[in-house]
Chains A and B, each alone.
Chain A
């Protein structure tokens, strides 16, 4: 190659050419700016959604199995046997050795009152180990214990959003009486906020009571909605699943070949599906945005062709003075590259700004990752080279004497 002196000249000529047609250069760049900004924003939205899902996984713990009656979210099926009861929970507790903790949930909505304040809340009857199994913390006060469950005591633990919904400070409520379905309960504690990161699994607006209290005093049934089971380690997940299935099939007297009357859900699987969906979504958005980048690239090619034909005489002169084909090629490629990279830099700034605006005003989770920025830079460079190559090649192949004669 020609060394540093040549590189310097090439960049200088490129900048000169861009500066001498400021308006035109800016308009051309705009295509790239918009394209890159769109890619950055779309990827930020997609990756933000993915990040939210990842946080859900982390906050819920993946070593949890959820067992529900029926054969899917909306398919109950299986008739009378498609019910889960506290008895089933006992059978699993005894039969599935790989299961560490097990926590049932039965829930129903009730009118809840505190003084003059009242509201409708989902009341969840569960066991004392709910917090351990579901990886939750109590913020103020305490959760109820096993004795209170055995004794069917009227204690309640509130989700973090409940006091506010009743218009009372959380600290004031602890130790006081609230009434659920006109039955008086003592508030033992308030849960820590789970937040929006828990997405569809958020339980901030629920009220927790001992499951035996719920069974005998509130709901009058031993049928439960679901139970969660933790396993000792992620590797014993399959083992636990098998044991639960076996125990429940026997309890429900299912013959071989008959399908399950319950389904065992693995949270990692659900969240994995969520994540895959959001990733596909990211690619789709980025793909659409990339189309605008393509349009920007065509703009670059167009303007480079104009630039080459405008500067035909200059190219002829440079060749007369000893420029080789490659020198001319590099010169025009660098010009296209500078346009695209400058546009790319502005586009990254604009895209980051737009992502922040989305986060700020629409409350969407967005993430401008270094990978996305690197990708954008690489992409704009690639656009510059790809769309600059043909005009640059045309310039480099010009015949020196014809170029010099060009009017």
Chain B
């Protein structure tokens, strides 16, 4: 497995983490996450080292319960690790206060969930406005930018619709518009197509491809190889450890065969 991505992370392991963090936007070292379940401890992540460059397009794969969501939540600053380090844009995330984490979630991270997580009673436009509310943006500018983001995902004509008046694919596109509206450095998507049929999934993936082409850093969890094939790099987790970390060759049928 001597790929470019693999080399990068092994090269990084020798340098001090602060130095690496100055060059690479996302750096983790020995990231662990334990869940206490009564007497027993579930070890969801057992020491993960990852580095992700700007404008990378990464798919995270692995069997159910292998720790994919846990890793995404840590990278997205929604959760804090039991031990280990996580540096984002040169900042040690484990040293930050609640409010500083909130600010990072607001400005640096755009999250897309499997279950969309839209406010059911709010219009598409209002849903997309939410991150801007917490960024302290004025009402007029908020509307303008939210409308712009919705047009970007081709929902300019559905702005006043409530989520239950939209199809699954449209809902996920609203969620993507919401994730992008504050121009985050990283787009995180945890099984974004998990609740969609394959045709709708393909539409969502083409939105992601366009975003990546325009320079967006994307990290995406998926169970499906055709979906993962859109990414340039696949990290595979097993039992809380990284099992493999490879560049994809989307057009190469052999790579697909090996993976499956």
Please name all residues of chain A whose beta carbon is closer than 8 Å to the beta carbon of B113 when the two chains form the complex: 404
CB of B121 closer than 8 Å to a CB of A: yes
Per-position binary interface string of chain B over residues 94-137, scored 1 when its CB falls under 8 Å from any chain A CB and 0 otherwise: 00001100110111000101000101011000000011011111
Mask, A293-323, CB within 8 Å of B = 1, is 0000000000000000000011001111111
Question: Does A93 sit at the interface, judged by CB under 8 A?
Answer: no
Residues of B61-102 at the interface with A, using a CB-CB cut-off of 8 Å, are 73, 76, 78-79, 98-99, 102
Residues in A53-84 with C-beta less than 8 Å from chain B: none
CB of A132 within 8 A of chain B? no
Tell me, in angstroms, the Cα distance from A152 to B214 when the chains sit together. Answer: 118
Q: Which of A4, A6, A8, A320 counts the most B-chain CB atoms under 10 A from its CB?
A: A320
B residues 128-155 touching A (CB-CB < 8 Å)? 130-131, 133-139, 142
Across the interface, do A321 and B136 meet the contact criterion of CB distance under 8 Å? no
Q: Determine the chain B residues whose CB is within 8 A of the CB of A8 once the complex forms.
A: 139
The size class of the interface chain B forms with chain A is 20 to 34
Rounded to whole angstroms, the CA-CA distance of A404 and B134 in the bound complex is 18
Is the beta-carbon distance between B99 and A321 smaller than 8 angstroms?
no
Tell me if B178 counts as interface (CB < 8 A to partner A). Answer: yes
- A256 close to chain B: CB less than 8 A: no
What are the residues of chain A within 8 A of B105 when measuring CB–CB? Answer: 319-322, 400
B119 touches A317 (CB 8 A): yes
Query: Measured between alpha carbons, how far is A8 from B201 in the docked complex, in Å?
Result: 36
A6 touches B102 (CB 8 A): no
CB distance from A101 to the nearest CB of B (A): 74
Closest to A1 in B: B136
Of the residues B76, B121, B134, contact of A327 by C-beta under 8 Å:
B134
Give A403's nearest chain B residue, CB to CB.
B78
Would you call the interface of chain A mostly helix, strand, loop, or mixed?
helix
CB-based contact A5/B133 at 8 Å: yes
Task: Let me know if B78 and A322 touch, CB within 8 A.
Answer: no
User: Which residues of A lie under 8 Å from residue B131 when comparing CB positions?
Assistant: 321-322
User: For residue A4, which residues in chain B have a CB less than 8 angstroms away from its CB?
Assistant: 138-139
Expressed in whole angstroms, the Cα–Cα distance for A66 and B124 within the complex equals 81
User: Which residues of the partner chain A approach B122 to less than 8 Å between Cβ atoms?
Assistant: 16
**Given the known A-B contacts A5-B137, A6-B133, A6-B136, are A321 and B178 also in contact in the complex, defined by CB atoms under 8 Å?**
yes
* Smallest beta-carbon distance A393→chain B, Å: 14
Per-residue interface assignment for chain A, residues 208 to 231, with 1 indicating a CB less than 8 Å from any chain B CB and 0 otherwise:
000000000000000000000000
- Distance of A371 Cα from B131 Cα, bound (Å): 43
Interface residues in A315-335 (C-beta closer than 8 Å to B): 317-327
| A323 close to B99 (CB less than 8 A) | no
- Taking a contact as CB atoms under 8 Å apart, the answer to whether A404 and B142 are in contact is no
Distance of B187 from chain A, by nearest CB (Å):
14
Pick the contact of B106 from A20, A322, A325, A326 — CB < 8 Å?
A: A322
Q: Which of B111, B121, B134 has the most CB of A within 10 A?
A: B134
Task: Judge whether B107 and A322 touch: CB under 8 Å.
Answer: yes
Interface residues in A185-210 (C-beta closer than 8 Å to B)? none
Name the A residues within 8 Å of B178 (CB-CB): 321
A321→B130 contact, CB < 8 A: yes
Q: Is A3 at the interface (CB under 8 A from chain B)?
A: yes
B135 surroundings in chain A (CB, below 8 A): 322
The answer to whether A20 touches B134 (Cβ under 8 A) is: no
Q: With A314-B119, A322-B107, A324-B99 known to touch, is A3 a contact of B134 (CB < 8 Å)?
A: no
- Chain A residues near B103 (CB, 8 Å)? 322, 324
Cross-chain contact B139 with A317 (CB below 8 angstroms): no
A313→B130 CA distance, assembly (Å): 15
Q: How far is the CA of A325 from the CA of B102 in the complex (A)?
A: 9
Q: Is the CB of A324 within 8 A of B137?
A: no
Residue of A nearest to B142 (CB): A5
Select which of A20, A324, A401 is within 8 A of B98 by beta carbon: A324
Are A3 and B138 CB-contacts (below 8 A) given A20-B121, A317-B119?
A: yes
Is B134 in contact with A313, judged by CB distance below 8 angstroms? no
CA distance A16 to B126 in the complex (A): 13
Q: Assess whether B117 is in contact with A324, with CB atoms less than 8 Å apart.
A: no
Contacts of A9 in B (CB 8 A): 133
Q: With A313-B117, A401-B73 known to touch, is A323 a contact of B134 (CB < 8 Å)?
A: yes
Between A319, A322, A323, the greatest number of chain B beta carbons within 10 A of the residue's beta carbon is seen for A322
| Interchain CB contact under 8 A, B136 and A3 | yes
Q: A2 in the interface, Cβ–Cβ < 8 Å?
A: yes
- Which one of A16, A324, A400, A401 contacts B134 once the chains associate, using CB atoms below 8 Å? A324
Q: Which residues of A contact B133 (CB under 8 A)?
A: 2, 5-6, 9
Q: Is A323 a contact partner of B102 (Cβ separation < 8 A)?
A: yes
For B142, list chain A residues within 8 Å (CB).
5
Across the interface, A5 reaches (CB within 8 A) one of B73, B107, B111, B139, namely: B139
- Report the bound CA distance from A327 to B131 in whole Å: 12
Closest Cβ of chain B to A328, distance in Å, is 10
Extra A-B contacts (9), CB below 8 Å, given A317-B117, A322-B107, A324-B103: A2-B133, A6-B133, A320-B105, A321-B178, A322-B106, A322-B131, A322-B182, A324-B134, A404-B117
17 contacts between A and B (CB under 8 A): A4-B138, A5-B133, A5-B139, A6-B134, A6-B136, A8-B139, A319-B78, A319-B102, A320-B117, A321-B105, A322-B105, A327-B134, A400-B105, A401-B73, A401-B78, A401-B79, A404-B113
B contact residues vs A (CB 8 Å cutoff)? 73, 76, 78-79, 98-99, 102-103, 105-107, 111, 113, 117, 119, 121-122, 130-131, 133-139, 142, 178, 182
> Nearest 8 pairs between A and B by C-beta?
A322-B106, A322-B134, A2-B136, A324-B102, A401-B79, A9-B133, A401-B78, A321-B131
